[in-house]
């Protein structure tokens, strides 16, 4: 069962691409440009041709800006510092919101917002009816999901990883300016938590004596700290690394085939996730 289904607190809650929210704000700015044109022509009696030119240039610029943001959202190319700054500059444009952003929230969101408004703005809802000016893109306090418990690692496991301050950071500018790929440092740490949990669980299991030197179950997940933890010198057999992708997918292929005394097994197969087949030989 997907976790977002089990934790669904409101009818419209789901996993979705937030580019749709950003596109809606661009639509608001598009209509604001049209309203500004009509106001200039009919209320301020400006030159219709000059006002029309300003309107058309504004809408052309909005189309180009949204195309740039949409492309940046894919994370398919390395983002230079200049492109990151362009995202920030586009995000400084403002739009006016007239509807409360505190209605229709799930209980978890309501609790989080209540805590945050104690230090942010107590008169937020009163001003919403008169119109609140917001940035086109922003990193808001509600985008921060705090870490509720301190992360500590058993020194015996030899895990050396920097723990991010927050559990998640969903800030729009923060995510859109990721230099490479689509994952933030918080997202990557969450992936690594799975590996850490697996290592901790396996280290605590009482393996039988004949299996205690076998590392065959340890490396089934994406890399931790750049490469999988290898067996000790007494456990290590000759291995070779076989890279299947540029970064996160490796496997360790045993240079010799090991057959089980109970059944005739095929030679080791290299999977897209870490897998080591290193079954100790039994003495005859």
pLDDT tens digits along 127-144: 556 789 999 999 999 999
pLDDT at residue 212, as a whole number: 64
Distance, CA of 221 to CA of 31 (rounded, Å): 49
Give the closest residue to 215 by CA, choosing from 283, 262, 279, 270.
Answer: 279
275: which residues sit within 8 A by CB, 6+ positions away? 216, 219, 220, 251, 252
Q: Which residues span the domain enclosing 272?
A: 210-226+238-255+267-284
Give the closest residue to 93 by CA, choosing from 131, 134, 54.
Answer: 134
Distance, CA of 171 to CA of 138 (rounded, Å): 7
Determine, yes or no, domain membership for 275: yes
pLDDT at residue 125, as a whole number: 53
Q: For residue range 50-104, list pLDDT tens digits in order.
A: 999 999 999 999 999 999 999 999 999 899 999 999 999 999 999 999 998 888 9
Domain count, the chain: 1
Determine, yes or no, domain membership for 283: yes
pLDDT at residue 124, as a whole number: 54
DSSP class of residue 162? P
pLDDT at residue 202, as a whole number: 78
Burial 12-41 (b: 16+ CB within 10 A, else e): eeeeeeebeebeebbeebeebbeeebeebb
CA distances from 155 to 34, 159, 161, 207, 273 (A): 63, 7, 12, 21, 26
Determine, yes or no, domain membership for 249: yes
Determine, yes or no, domain membership for 189: no
Give the closest residue to 223 by CA, choosing from 199, 255, 254, 257.
Answer: 199
SS3 163: coil
Determine, yes or no, domain membership for 279: yes
Determine, yes or no, domain membership for 219: yes
pLDDT at residue 110, as a whole number: 85
**Which residues of the chain carry a pLDDT beneath 70?**
1, 116-129, 211-284
Determine, yes or no, domain membership for 92: no
Distance, CA of 138 to CA of 123 (rounded, Å): 20
Distance, CA of 182 to CA of 178 (rounded, Å): 7
User: What whole-number percentage of the chain has pLDDT above 70?
Assistant: 69
Determine, yes or no, domain membership for 91: no
pLDDT at residue 201, as a whole number: 81
pLDDT at residue 152, as a whole number: 83
pLDDT at residue 154, as a whole number: 80
């Amino acid at each position: 069962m997907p976790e977002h289904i089990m934790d669904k607190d409101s009818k419209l809650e789901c996993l979705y691409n937030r580019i749709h929210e950003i596109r809606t704000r661009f639509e608001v700015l598009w209509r604001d440009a049209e309203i500004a044109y009509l106001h200039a022509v009919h209320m301020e009696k400006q030159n219709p041709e000059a006002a029309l030119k300003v309107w058309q240039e504004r809408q052309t610029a909005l189309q180009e800006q949204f195309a740039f943001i949409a492309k940046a959202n894919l994370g398919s190319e390395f983002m230079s510092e200049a492109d990151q700054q362009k995202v920030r500059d586009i995000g400084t444009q403002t739009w006016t919101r007239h509807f409360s952003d505190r209605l229709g929230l799930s209980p978890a969101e309501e609790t989080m917002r209540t805590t945050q408004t104690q230090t942010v703005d107590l008169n937020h809802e009163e001003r919403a009816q008169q119109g609140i000016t917001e940035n086109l893109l922003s990193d808001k306090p509600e985008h921060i999901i705090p870490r509720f418990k301190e992360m500590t690692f058993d020194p015996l496991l030899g895990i050396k990883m920097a723990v991010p301050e927050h559990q998640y950071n969903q800030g729009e500018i923060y995510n859109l300016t990721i230099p490479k790929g689509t994952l933030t440092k918080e997202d990557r740490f969450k992936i690594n938590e799975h590996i850490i949990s697996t290592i901790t669980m396996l280290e605590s299991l009482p393996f039988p004596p004949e299996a205690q030197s076998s590392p065959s179950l340890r490396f089934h997940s994406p890399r931790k700290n750049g490469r999988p933890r290898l067996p000790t010198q007494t456990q290590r057999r000759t291995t070779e690394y076989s890279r299947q992708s540029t970064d996160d997918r490796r496997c360790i292929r045993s240079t010799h085939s090991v057959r089980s005394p109970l059944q005739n097994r095929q030679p080791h197969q290299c999977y897209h996730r870490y897998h080591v087949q290193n079954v100790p030989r039994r003495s005859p």
